[in-house]
Amino acid sequence: MATLGGGCFWCIEVVFSEVKGVVRVLPAYSGGHVVNPTYEQACTGTTGHAEVVQITFDSDFICFRKLLEIFFAVHDPTTLNRQSGVGTQYRSVIFTIMENRKIWLRRLLRALTRRRYTMHQL
């Protein structure tokens, strides 16, 4: 399972629902301080939640890394709080549960940051 936020959850949901190996894509809110916020509450940007999709996938067909490659290809994580909308609920975010994914993800993000910085210097 992967929980990713790249702006409007409906936009991200459409992308991942078409990916072979993805079993289910569930739009939700994550990372906030209000228990079970309504759509209206989350849209105010005051609950601390991000719009996310929880992706259930079959690792025999697609791996977590490939999901992240798609994720980074369909949105710009460097645009703060402006992914297909404006507000903190539209931020780019990845929630992880497994410690090995956290470690791997930190390495990936450092590599992507270095690559982006290097490309801007050219």
| Residues annotated catalytic, as ranges | 8
Distance CA 100, CA 69 (A): 18
CA distance readout (Å), 78 to 42, 82, 87, 94, 117: 22, 9, 14, 14, 11
Closest CA to 25 of 33, 15, 34: 15
Distance CA 11, CA 63 (A): 21
